[in-house]
Amino acid sequence: MDVKQVVQEKYGRIARESEGRNAASCCGVVSCCSPADSSEELAYSVMAEDYTHLSGYQQSADLGLGCGLPTEFAAIRPGDTVVDLGSGAGNDCFVARAETGDTGRVIGVDFTPDMIDRARQNAAKLGYTNVEFVAGDIENIPLPDNTADVVVSNCVFNLVPDKPRAFAETLRILKPGGHISISDIVVDGEIPDGLRHDASMYAGCVSGAIQMKDYLDVIRQAGFHNLNIQKKRPITLPLELLQRYLNEEEVATFNDKLGIYSISVYAEK
C-alpha cells in the first residue's frame, strides 16, 4: 500500500465531491448527519467535533475531517503567524484568522491539489488577503525556518508515514518560543489486522494511529518541551464499521482490548 497515494486520492475525491454536497446540505460532506456510505466516511463521522461555536467558522470549509478543535486551544494572539499543517479546505485557517486578525498571517499547507484549490476558492470568496495556501508535504514543509508563532494541525500526523521527520520539520518552521496545538488520533492497545491493513481505514485516520505513549515520545524526541495534553476524548467505532473488518469474536472483544482517543497536544519550541 502506497500510503501517500491512498491518502491523496481519498482526500482529493472528498474535496471534489464535497463542493456539491455542502451546497445542498447544512451538514457538510461527512458530518454526523450525512450519509456514511463508505468506511472512511463512517470513521470520520464519529471523530469530528462541532466547530460552529468558534469565531471565524466557515461552513463551506468544514468537511468534517478533523478529530478535535486545535485552534480553540492554540492560544493564538493578534498579529501571530499561524501555520496549519494538512489544512484541507481551510477550516482551521479561517478560525485561526479570526484570532490573529488583520495584522497576522495564516498559512495552510496541504499536499492534495484539490484541497488547495478548494481552500483558495474559499479564501477568495471571503476576501481574506492574509490567508494563503501552499502545496507541500509536511515531511518536507516548503516554508523557511522560524516562520510560525503557532502551528496547528487536525487529524493529520497519524496519516504521515515518517512522523519523526514531520515533527522535526514542524519544530524547524516554528520561531523560538513558538508552540504547537495538534489534534490527532492515538490508540492504547493493538489494532486488529483487519483494520490496520485496510487502505480506507488508513485514510479514515484509524489504522494509521500509533500508541499514545509513542506519539508523545516522538514529539519530545523532535525537540519540543513543556508538552501537555489539552484534551483527551474517547472514540467509539460503531458496530456497523467493526463488522466490515472483524470476525464475531474480534468485534465482541474490540472495546476491551483497544482504546481509541482523540487528543489535543500542546508543546513549545
Query: Domain boundaries in the chain?
Result: 3-268
Q: Quick check: 49 pLDDT over 50?
A: yes
Alpha helices in the chain (DSSP H): 3-24, 39-47, 91-100, 113-126, 163-173, 193-196, 199-203, 212-221, 239-245, 248-257
Predicted confidence band of residue 45 (pLDDT cuts 50, 70, 90): low
**Banded pLDDT at 23 (limits 50, 70, 90):** very low
Please determine, for residue 203, whether its predicted confidence score (pLDDT) is greater than 50.
no
Asked whether 245 and 194 are in contact (CB, 8 A), the reply is yes
Supply the pLDDT for residue 213.
95
| pLDDT value of residue 12 | 66
More confident residue, 41 or 50: 50
* pLDDT for 70 beyond 90: yes
Task: Place 26 in a pLDDT band, splitting at 50, 70 and 90.
Answer: very low
Q: Which CATH architecture does the domain made up of 3-268 adopt?
A: 3-Layer(aba) Sandwich (3.40)
Q: Look at residue 148 and tell me whether its pLDDT is greater than 80.
A: yes
| Range among 145-159, 201-215, 249-263 rated most confident | 145-159
For residue 202, pLDDT beyond 70: no
pTM as predicted:
0.84
